[in-house]
Chains A and B, each alone.
Chain A
Amino acid sequence: MKVHTTGTTAFGRRSFALGAVSVTAALVLSACGGSDAAESTDSTDLASAGATTLTMWVDAERSPALTDVTAQFKEDTGIEIKLVTKDFEQVSDDFITQVPTGKGPDLIVGPHDWLGKFVQNGVIAPIELGDKAADFQESSVAAMTYEGSTYGVPYSIENIGLLRNADLVPEPATTMDEVIANGKAAVEKGAEFPFLVGMDPKQGDPYHLYPFQTSMGVPVFGTDETGGYDASKLELGNENGAAFAAKVKEWGEGGAGILNSNITADIAKEKFNAGASPYFLTGPWNVPLAQEAGINVVVDPLPTTGDQPAQPFIGVNGFFISSKSQNSLAATEFALNYLTTEAVQDAMFEGGGRPPALTASFDKAAEDPIVEAFGKIGADGVPMPAIPEMGAVWADWGGTELALIKGQGDPAESWAKMVSNVEAKIAK
Chain B
Amino acid sequence: MVDQLDTPVRSRTPAAHKKPRRSPDSTAGLLAKILLLGLTDAFAVYVLMALFMSEKWLILAVAAAVTVLINWIYLRRGGLPAKYLAPGVLFLLIFQVFVVVYSGYVAFTNYGDGHNSTKADAISSISMSAQKRVPDSPAYQVSVVEKDDVLSLLVTDPDGGVRIGTTGEPLEDVEDAQMGGAGKAVGADGYRTLNFNELLSVQQDITAIKVPLSEDLDDGILQTADGSNAYVFKPVLVYDEAADTFTDTETGVVYAAGGEGSYVSDNGERLATGWKVGVGFDNFKTAFTDPDLRGPLVSVILWTFTFALGSVLLCFGLGLFLALTFNHPNLRGKKIYRTIMILPYAFPAFLAGLVWSGMLNQEFGFINEALFGGADIPWLTDPWLAKFSVLLVNTWLGFPYMFLVCTGALQSLPEDVNEAARMDGASAWRIFRSIKLPLLLVSTAPLLISTFAFNFNNFNVIFMLTGGGPRFSDTNMDIGATDLLITLVYKVAFGQGSGRDYGLASALAVIIFIIVAVISAVSFRQTKALEEVNS
Interface residues of A (CB under 8 A from B): 1, 6-8, 10-12, 24, 27-28, 31-32, 46-50, 52, 77-79, 93, 96-97, 99-100, 102, 117, 119-123, 125-128, 130-131, 147-149, 201-203, 260, 262-264, 266-267, 323-324, 326-330, 332-333, 336-337, 388-392, 395-396, 399, 406, 417, 420-421, 424-426, 428
A32-B46, A120-B273, A202-B469 are known contacts. Are A131 and B225 too (CB-CB below 8 A)? no
A31-B46, A120-B113 are known contacts. Are A425 and B497 too (CB-CB below 8 A)? yes
Closest Cβ neighbor of B195 among chain A residues: A47
Q: Judging by beta carbons under 8 Å apart, are B197 and A47 in contact?
A: yes
Q: Judging by beta carbons under 8 Å apart, are A396 and B476 in contact?
A: yes
- The complex places the Cα of A337 from the Cα of B227 at a distance, in Å, of 11
Residue B129 lies at the interface, judged by CB distance under 8 Å to chain A: yes
- The complex places the Cα of A202 from the Cα of B495 at a distance, in Å, of 14
Residue B146 lies at the interface, judged by CB distance under 8 Å to chain A: yes
Residues on the A chain within 8 Å of B245, using CB? none
With an 8 Å Cβ cutoff, the count of chain B residues facing the other chain is 70
Closest Cβ neighbor of A428 among chain B residues: B497
Q: Judging by beta carbons under 8 Å apart, are A28 and B197 in contact?
A: no
Q: Judging by beta carbons under 8 Å apart, are A122 and B125 in contact?
A: yes
User: Which of A8, A31, A126, A392 lies in contact with B129, CB distance below 8 A?
Assistant: A126
User: Which of B121, B273, B498 lies in contact with A389, CB distance below 8 A?
Assistant: B498
- For the residues of A in contact with B, the DSSP-based class is helix
- The complex places the Cα of A201 from the Cα of B101 at a distance, in Å, of 39
Residues on the A chain within 8 Å of B226, using CB? 329, 332-333, 336-337
Q: Give B496-514 as 1s and 0s: 1 = Cβ < 8 Å from A's Cβ atoms.
A: 1111100000000000000
Q: Give B289-319 as 1s and 0s: 1 = Cβ < 8 Å from A's Cβ atoms.
A: 0000000000000000000000000000000
A117-B113, A130-B231, A396-B478 are known contacts. Are A262 and B362 too (CB-CB below 8 A)? yes
Interface contacts beyond A31-B45, A389-B498: sample of 6 additional A-B pairs, CB < 8 Å, sorted by A: A10-B205, A11-B151, A27-B49, A50-B199, A148-B132, A388-B113
Q: Give B353-374 as 1s and 0s: 1 = Cβ < 8 Å from A's Cβ atoms.
A: 0000110011110000000000
Interface residues of B (CB under 8 A from A): 42-43, 45-46, 49-50, 52-54, 113-114, 116-118, 121-122, 124-126, 128-129, 131-133, 139, 146, 149-151, 195-207, 225-229, 231, 272-273, 357-358, 361-364, 380-381, 466-467, 469, 471, 476, 478, 495-500
- The complex places the Cα of A49 from the Cα of B197 at a distance, in Å, of 7
- The complex places the Cα of A120 from the Cα of B476 at a distance, in Å, of 25
Q: Judging by beta carbons under 8 Å apart, are A327 and B203 in contact?
A: yes
Residues on the B chain within 8 Å of A24, using CB? 49, 52-53
Could you give 5 example pairs across A and B, Cβ below 8 Å? A121-B273, A122-B116, A201-B380, A263-B364, A390-B498
Closest Cβ neighbor of B276 among chain A residues: A100
Residues on the A chain within 8 Å of B124, using CB? 122, 323
A46-B201, A50-B200, A330-B203 are known contacts. Are A122 and B42 too (CB-CB below 8 A)? no
Closest Cβ neighbor of B468 among chain A residues: A202
User: Which of B129, B195, B496 lies in contact with A395, CB distance below 8 A?
Assistant: B496
A28-B50, A78-B197, A122-B273 are known contacts. Are A8 and B204 too (CB-CB below 8 A)? yes
Residues on the A chain within 8 Å of B150, using CB? 12
Q: Judging by beta carbons under 8 Å apart, are B361 and A49 in contact?
A: no
Closest Cβ neighbor of A6 among chain B residues: B201
Q: Judging by beta carbons under 8 Å apart, are A11 and B203 in contact?
A: no
Closest Cβ neighbor of B376 among chain A residues: A262
Residues on the A chain within 8 Å of B272, using CB? 119-120, 388
User: Which of A7, A119, A266 lies in contact with B203, CB distance below 8 A?
Assistant: A7
- The complex places the Cα of A262 from the Cα of B202 at a distance, in Å, of 58
Q: Judging by beta carbons under 8 Å apart, are B200 and A336 in contact?
A: no
Taking the closest CB of chain B, its distance from the CB of A346, in whole angstroms, is 22
- The complex places the Cα of A79 from the Cα of B121 at a distance, in Å, of 27
Residues on the B chain within 8 Å of A8, using CB? 204
Residues on the A chain within 8 Å of B53, using CB? 24, 28
Residues on the B chain within 8 Å of A125, using CB? 125, 128
- The complex places the Cα of A316 from the Cα of B4 at a distance, in Å, of 57
Q: Judging by beta carbons under 8 Å apart, are A128 and B225 in contact?
A: yes
User: Which of A1, A28, A323 lies in contact with B125, CB distance below 8 A?
Assistant: A323
Residues on the A chain within 8 Å of B500, using CB? 93
Taking the closest CB of chain A, its distance from the CB of B483, in whole angstroms, is 12
- The complex places the Cα of A46 from the Cα of B194 at a distance, in Å, of 10
Residues on the B chain within 8 Å of A50, using CB? 196-201
Q: Judging by beta carbons under 8 Å apart, are B42 and A31 in contact?
A: yes
User: Which of A11, A149, A428 lies in contact with B205, CB distance below 8 A?
Assistant: A11
Taking the closest CB of chain A, its distance from the CB of B194, in whole angstroms, is 8
Q: Judging by beta carbons under 8 Å apart, are B471 and A399 in contact?
A: yes
- The complex places the Cα of A149 from the Cα of B233 at a distance, in Å, of 11
Q: Judging by beta carbons under 8 Å apart, are B129 and A147 in contact?
A: yes
A102-B54, A120-B272 are known contacts. Are A425 and B207 too (CB-CB below 8 A)? no
Q: Judging by beta carbons under 8 Å apart, are B203 and A426 in contact?
A: no
Q: Judging by beta carbons under 8 Å apart, are A127 and B225 in contact?
A: yes
- The complex places the Cα of A57 from the Cα of B361 at a distance, in Å, of 36
Taking the closest CB of chain A, its distance from the CB of B109, in whole angstroms, is 14
Q: Judging by beta carbons under 8 Å apart, are A264 and B361 in contact?
A: yes
Residues on the A chain within 8 Å of B54, using CB? 102
User: Which of A93, A119, A202 lies in contact with B273, CB distance below 8 A?
Assistant: A119
- The complex places the Cα of A203 from the Cα of B121 at a distance, in Å, of 37
Residues on the B chain within 8 Å of A267, using CB? 361, 364
Q: Judging by beta carbons under 8 Å apart, are A126 and B203 in contact?
A: no
